[in-house]
Amino acid sequence: MSTLAKTPHQVHPARTFDVERVRRDFPVLHQKVHGKPLVYLDNAATTQKPLAVIETIDHYYRHDNSNIHRGVHTLSERATEAYEKVRVAAQKFLNAADSKEIIFVRGTTEGINLVAQSYGRKNVGSGDEVLITAMEHHSNIVPWQLLCGEKGAKLRVAPINDRGELLLEEFERLLGPKTRIVAVGHLSNALGTINPIREVVRMAHARNIPVLVDGAQAAPRMKVDVQELDCDFYAISGHKMYGPTGIGVLYGKTRLLETMPPYQGGGDMIASVTFEKTVYNRLPYKFEAGTPNIADTIGLGAAIEYLNELGLDEIEKHEAELLAYATSRVETIPGVRIVGTAREKAGVLSFVMDDIHPHDIGTILDNEGIAVRTGHHCAQPVMQRFNIPATARASFGLYNTRAEVDALVAGIHKVREVMG
Ligand SMILES: Cc1ncc(COP(=O)(O)O)c(C=O)c1O
């Protein structure tokens, strides 16, 4: 009997979102840093893991560890079953039409590189264009630059306004007969902007241009429905959605995935091999060469289950309330300026303080037990757009509280005090 059928740690569905109960699921939160209770506000970089995830991975290594797909023995069958169950869970999570459209990758970065190297190398040629936006994370810029460099193609960038919103008319103007693919973030990690993906896809599809969406920050914060968005590719990272590092998902439409060459060669991605010719495996295995990250895939399954049980709608509501509260408090602190004030926004509060370097803000806040990120957030062009070297960024997760926002505000006052 499969011992993987049950998740060791059971989450009880909440009728109303109870943040104090949720916090009990996250052991790491219950510690002091520099003698102060930890206030973890670096969720856009990575999220903490609930017991459900930690115990599922522990359970897998204690009871079921084995290589998948190739074995007839019991452990291998158990591991394979658990691994493939996560594919179906991920399919439902994103509302993909078929589980073969779910490809396990290391994370968003690898998902985007896969599309750039497989779809891109086949379809982008000399003089062609790839269109991105001015608010992309480096992982949705550099893979396209590499492709354009190799092919003699051009990277075009749709501009944003001073609030950090995509200028849709400009975006549409940049869609031309040479545009081969559009790659756009769903939720900006540096600004918190939520992009109008449905509209972007509609504009691109009207010209037969496929759209890849970087969903790294959106997947943990809102219900994603790839069929409703009608995007062609959607990439997510497990570690940003309360799951393990080193595992993510690339969704792709069957019609496109079928035409794409493999990204990497090796075991599992083949149907047959001779020295003369290799026949590739069917989807999705064609894109999963070598032994995958089995344990963390299974851990991701536990994270998806955890999010489903809490409910993305509830999580979205909770984080929206927190962000509104944090914004109203932080924007009234003298000398503080919020960077990224889009009307559609979630999860992220980036700010600068006159004359104080974000690195100093981060260090002083850390002394107060408050973890925020400071720097360019892997979005240097965003910093250039706003003419700043860096920001301090508080990013919220499902376990953050209003009391933690109050601690952040007190911490920012402390920064002012210390820095004079
Ligand atoms: C918007 C966005 N895209 C892509 C990534 C890259 O994700 P990963 O490092 O998990 O591949 C990140 C990570 O910060 C991100 O915030």
Q: Note the pLDDT tens digit of each residue in 198-238.
A: 999 999 999 999 999 999 999 999 999 999 999 999 999 99
Structural tokens at position 381: 């062009």
Q: If you measure from the C-alpha of residue 282 to the centroid of ligand 1, how many angstroms do you get, rounded to a whole number?
A: 28
Does residue 113 have its Cβ closer than 6 Å to ligand 1?
no
Taking the CB of residue 376, how many other CB atoms lie within 10 A of it?
A: 18
Q: Where in the chain is the domain with CATH 3.90.1150.10?
A: 19-40+311-419
Ligand 1 atom nearest to CA at 189: 16
Q: If you measure from the C-alpha of residue 102 to the centroid of ligand 1, how many angstroms do you get, rounded to a whole number?
A: 18
Does residue 214 have its Cβ closer than 6 Å to ligand 1?
yes
| The CATH number, out of the four listed (3.40.50.720, 1.25.40.850, 1.10.3720.10, 3.90.1150.10), of the domain defined by the range 19-40+311-419 | 3.90.1150.10
At residue 25, the pLDDT reads 98
At residue 15, the pLDDT reads 53
H-only helix segments in 107-186:
108-115, 121-123, 142-151, 168-174
Average pLDDT over residues 271-295: 96
Active site residue 378: yes
**What CA–CA distances, in Å, run from 67 to 78, 79, 81, 134, 272?**
10, 7, 11, 42, 20
Average pLDDT over residues 110-132: 98
Report pTM: 0.96
Average pLDDT over residues 327-338: 97
At residue 277, the pLDDT reads 94
pLDDT at 297 exceeding the cut of 70: yes
Amino acid letter, residue 330: V
Q: Where in the chain is the domain with CATH 3.40.640.10?
A: 60-308
Does residue 217 have its Cβ closer than 6 Å to ligand 1?
yes
Please identify which of the residues 378, 388, 409, 419 carries the catalytic annotation: 378
Mean pLDDT of the chain: 95
Give the residue whose CA is nearest to atom 14 of ligand 1.
Answer: 45
Three-state SS at 135: coil
Average pLDDT over residues 114-130: 98
CB 289 within 8 A of CB 268: yes
Average pLDDT over residues 7-21: 66
At residue 8, the pLDDT reads 46
Query: Could you confirm whether domain 60-308 is CATH 2.60.40.10?
Result: no
pLDDT at 10 exceeding the cut of 90: no
Q: If you measure from the C-alpha of residue 184 to the centroid of ligand 1, how many angstroms do you get, rounded to a whole number?
A: 12
At residue 16, the pLDDT reads 77
The closest alpha carbon to 234, from 206, 280, 200, 193, belongs to 200
Does residue 281 have its Cβ closer than 6 Å to ligand 1?
no
Does residue 109 have its Cβ closer than 6 Å to ligand 1?
yes
